[in-house]
Structure 1
Amino acid sequence: MGIKGRLIILNFIQFFIWGAWLITIANYWFGNKGWSPQEFGAVFSTMGISSLFMPTLSGIIADRWINAEKLYGILHLLGGVAMLYLPQVDDSTLFITVILLAMICYMPTIALMNSISYTILKNNKYDVIKVFPLIRVWGTIGFIAAMWLTNLSGSKASANQFYISAVASFILAVYSFTMPQCKPQNQGKKGASLIELLGLNAFKLFKSYKMALFFIFSMLLGASLQLTNMYGDRFLSEFEKVPQYADSFVVKYSTIIMSISQISEVVFILAIPFFLKKFGIKKVILMSMIAWVFRFALFAYGDPSGGLWMIILSCIIYGMAFDFFNVSGSLFVETQCDSNIRSSAQGLFMMMTNGFGAILGSWVSGIIIGNFFTSNEGDFIWMDIWNTFAIYSLIIAIFFAFLFKHKHNPEGFGKINN
C-alpha cells in the first residue's frame, strides 16, 4: 500500500475512535445511568481541560525525546485501556475521572496525527497543501462510520460504544508502530526558554486590540461548538416519549440523522476558499455565528414528522457553523502573526476554542439545564434549551459584527490585510 493510503487509514481510525461515543454518550449517561445534567457538563469539559496542556506537552516530547509515531501509539494504547475500563464504572465522579484520563491520552493525538502526516508526506516529496486535505477528509468519514456502527449495532445507549472505541484505539496503537519513523527534530538542541517551549510567547498577541477581541470571541463561540454533540442525539432519542413519534425513523436512527452534520462538514470545507475570497474573514466568521443561531433554533422547533425538515436543515447548517469558524479562524491567525510565533498562535487559538471555550460551554450548559430546564419528572425542556443556546449565539454575533473591525481585500486573498 502506498504512503497516502497508509495515512488515510491513520486518519480514518483516529476519528473513528472519537465518533464511536462522542455523539451518543448522552444516551448512556441519562438513559442508562440516570446521572445528573450538571455532572454531564463535566464529562465534555474533560476535552477542554485536556486541550489546555496536553497537545503542547506531547509536542515538546515528540520534538525532543521520542519519535512522534511511537508517542502517538503509546497514547492510543493508554487511551484504549481507559475506554475499556469505563463501562465498569458505576459512580459518576469516577466515570468523569476515567474519561478525563482517556481525553488526556486522546486529545493530543489529533495534533500528533497532523504532525506525523505532514512529516511523512514531506519526506516523500508530496505537496502537503494539496495532498493532506484529501487525506484528512477520511477522518471525517471515519467519524461518520463509527456513528453509523454504534447506531446500527444498537449500541447508542449501551456500554458497547466504549468497547468499540477501545478496540479501535488498540488497532491504531499497533498500526502506528508500523508507520515510517518521525524522529525528534530538536533532539539535543538548547537555547529555547520555557515560555517559548510552552508556546506562551503567543500571549503577547493580546496586546493588539483586534487580536485580543478575536481570541475572546473565539472562546465565547467555542462554548457553542460541542453543545449539539453533547445533547443532539439525546434530544432526538427522547422523541420516543411522544407516542406518535416512538417508532419513527428519527428515534430509531438518531445517530445516523446526526451524522448528516459531519457529512455537511465535508461539503462546506470545499466551499470555504470561495466564501473567503468573496466575502472575507469577518463576514465568513459572522456567517458561522448566524449559522449557529439557526442550528439551535431549528432543533427547538423541529420534530420527526412535519418538522423533520427543520432537523435535517439544522444538521446541514452545522457544516457551515463549525467549519467556517474553525478553518477561517485558523487562517486569520496564520496571516496576522509573525512567522516565529505562528505555531504558538495556532495553539493559542485551539486553547481558547477547544480549551477554555469548551470548558465554559460544557460546565455552564450543564448547570443551566439542570437548574432551569429540567422538569420535576426529570425530563429536559428541549425547546427552551435550544432557544437559549440560539439567543446566546445571536448575542455573540451582534457584538462581533459591531466590535470586530477588519477590511477585506478580494485581490489580496491569501494575504489578509490589517
Structure 2
Amino acid sequence: MNNVKVRLSIMMFLQFFIWGGWFVTLGTYLASTLEASGGQIAMAFSTQSWGAIIAPLIIGLIADKYFNAERILGVLHLLGAALMYMMFTAQDFSSFYPFVLGYMIAYMPTLALVNSVSFGQMHDPSKEFGKIRVWGTIGWIVAGLVISYVFSWDARQAIENGMLRNTFALCAIASLLLGLFSFTLPATPPKGKGQATGIGQALGTDALSLLKSRNFAVFFIASVLICIPLAFYYQNANPFLTEIGVENATGKMTLGQVSEVLFMLALPVFLNKFGIKKTLILGMLAWVIRYVLFAYGNADEGIWLLLVGIALHGLCYDFFFVSGQIYTDAKAAPQNKSAAQGLITLATYGVGMLIGFWVAGQITDAYAVSDGHVWENVWLFPAAFALVVLVLFTVLFKPEKVSVDD
C-alpha cells in the first residue's frame, strides 16, 4: 500500500471511529445520564436527518465550487471537535441538544467529502475504493470494542456513574486529530468551479423524473418507509441491550459491522444471480426477522437470539440500502446519476429517518414502565411495519435484472 492509500485509510478509520464512538451509545447516555424521555432521544437522533438534509447544500453549493475538499473536511472536523467537547460538558438535555444539532450539521457533509478526497486520488475507484472504505468499518468496530472491552464505559456500574460521558471526550480528541490530519491529505480542488449549481441539483431533485417509472416509484416509497424500522435499531438497540443486562453491549454490536463487510462481498453475486427484486425482498425480510429475535431474546439463555439479530445488520443494510444505491445508479440517466443518489439519500436518511426517529420515540415512550420498557412490544412494532412494507413491495414491484461486477 503506497503512502497516499495509507493516508486515505487513516482518514476513513478516524472518520467512522468518531461516528461509531458516540452515536451507538447515544440513546443509552441520554436516557441514563441526562434522564431524557423517548421523545427527547428521538430529537437527538433526528439531528442526523437534519444534517443529511443540509449536507447537500454545503457540498453542492459551497464545497464543490469554492474550496478544496480536504480543507473543508479539516475545518468541519475542527469545528466538530469543539462541538463534541461541548456535548461532553453539557449537564442536561436542553443544553446538550443545540450542540448535537450543530455537530451533525457539521459532520454529515464530511461523509461525502472523505469520498471525494478518496476518489480524487484513484485511477479506478470501482476496484480501489472498497479497500479504502473498509477501514471506515474497521474504525467503527474498533470504537465499539474500545468502549466495551478497554474502558468498560458501557458496563452497568460505569453507566450509573456517568462514565459514558467520556465517549464524547474520546471522539472530540479523534475529531481534532482528523481535523489537523485533513490538511496533510492530497489536494482535492473543487470540480464544479465556475459552474452554476442550483438548489434542486444539490438536493437531487433534478432526478425526480425517475419517479415516472412505476418500479422506481415503488422502490422509492419503500425506501422511505423501511427507514422507520431502521430508526428503531439506531435509536433503541444499545439502550435495549444495556437495560436488559447484556454485558459489553457496544462491543457485541460491532458484530453488525463485521457482517456488513461479509454481506457486501456476497451482494454482487446475489444481485447477478437472483436480480434486484429478490435481493431487496431478502433485505426487508431480514428486518422483520431481526426485530422478532429482539422481541423474544434475553440476556440469559436467549442471548443467541440477540446476537443473531445484531449479526443480521449486514443483510438488512447491504441487501436493501446498498443494492438500492446500485439500482438507482442503473436506472438514472448519465447526467442525473449524482442527482439520483442525492435524491435517494435525502429521502431515506433525511425524510425517512426523520419520521422514523419520531415514531421510535413515541413507541418507546408508550411502552415505558417504572423499571424500564416492555421491549417485546417495542420491537414487534417495527417487525410488523417492515412486514407490511415487504408485502406491498413484493406485490407492486416487477422483477428487473441489474448486473454488477463481482
Instruction: Assess same fold via TM > 0.5.
Output: yes
Give matches, 1:143-158, under 5 Å. Answer: 143-152=140-149, 153-156=151-154, 157=159, 158=164
Cα displacement string for residues 350-380 of structure 1 (whole angstroms, at most 9, x for unaligned residues)? 111111111011011101221x2111x1511
2:292 alignment counterpart: 297
Cα displacement string for residues 255-276 of structure 1 (whole angstroms, at most 9, x for unaligned residues)? 1111111111010010101110
SS in 2 for 1:224: helix
SS in 1 for 2:169: helix
Give matches, 1:10-409, under 5 Å. Answer: 10-121=11-122, 126-152=123-149, 153-156=151-154, 157=159, 158-190=164-196, 193-240=198-245, 250-251=246-247, 253-370=248-365, 372-375=366-369, 377=370, 379-408=372-401
Would the aligned equivalents of 1:59 and 1:112 in 2 still touch at CA under 8 Å? Answer: no
Matches of 1:270 and 1:236 in 2, distance apart?
Answer: 28
Matches of 2:394 and 2:222 in 1, distance apart?
Answer: 11
Between the two proteins, what is the percent identity of the paired residues? 37
1:246 alignment counterpart: none
Q: Write the letter of the residue equivalent to 2:192.
A: N
Q: CA deviation at 1:293?
A: 0.6
Q: What TM-score do the two structures reach when normalised by structure 1?
A: 0.91
Q: Write the letter of the residue equivalent to 1:67.
A: N
Q: CA deviation at 1:223?
A: 2.1
Structure 1 stretch displaced more, 6-15 or 23-32: 23-32
Matches of 1:87 and 1:142 in 2, distance apart?
Answer: 21
Matches of 1:58 and 1:321 in 2, distance apart?
Answer: 28
Query: What runs of 5+ residues in structure 2 fail to find an aligned partner?
Result: none
Matches of 1:367 and 1:9 in 2, distance apart?
Answer: 39
Would the aligned equivalents of 1:222 and 1:352 in 2 still touch at CA under 8 Å? Answer: no
Matches of 2:375 and 2:131 in 1, distance apart?
Answer: 38
Would the aligned equivalents of 2:44 and 2:100 in 1 still touch at CA under 8 Å? Answer: yes
Matches of 2:89 and 2:404 in 1, distance apart?
Answer: 51
Matches of 1:161 and 1:401 in 2, distance apart?
Answer: 42
Q: CA deviation at 1:193?
A: 4.7
Which consecutive segments of 4 or more residues in structure 1 shift more than 3 A?
A: 192-199
Matches of 1:402 and 1:143 in 2, distance apart?
Answer: 37
Q: Write the letter of the residue equivalent to 1:160.
A: N
Aligned length: 395
Matches of 1:189 and 1:296 in 2, distance apart?
Answer: 47
Q: CA deviation at 1:301?
A: 0.9
Matches of 2:328 and 2:244 in 1, distance apart?
Answer: 42
Q: CA deviation at 1:96?
A: 1.9
SS in 2 for 1:120: coil
Would the aligned equivalents of 1:264 and 1:318 in 2 still touch at CA under 8 Å? Answer: yes
Matches of 2:241 and 2:200 in 1, distance apart?
Answer: 46
Would the aligned equivalents of 2:293 and 2:305 in 1 still touch at CA under 8 Å? Answer: yes
Q: CA deviation at 1:90?
A: 2.5
Aligned Cα root-mean-square deviation (Å): 1.6
Cα displacement string for residues 42-98 of structure 1 (whole angstroms, at most 9, x for unaligned residues)? 111110111012134223322211100000111111111111001222332332221
Cα displacement string for residues 124-167 of structure 1 (whole angstroms, at most 9, x for unaligned residues)? xx321111101101100100101111223132342101111111
Would the aligned equivalents of 2:60 and 2:202 in 1 still touch at CA under 8 Å? Answer: no
Query: What runs of 5+ residues in structure 1 fail to find an aligned partner?
Result: 241-249
Would the aligned equivalents of 1:57 and 1:198 in 2 still touch at CA under 8 Å? Answer: no
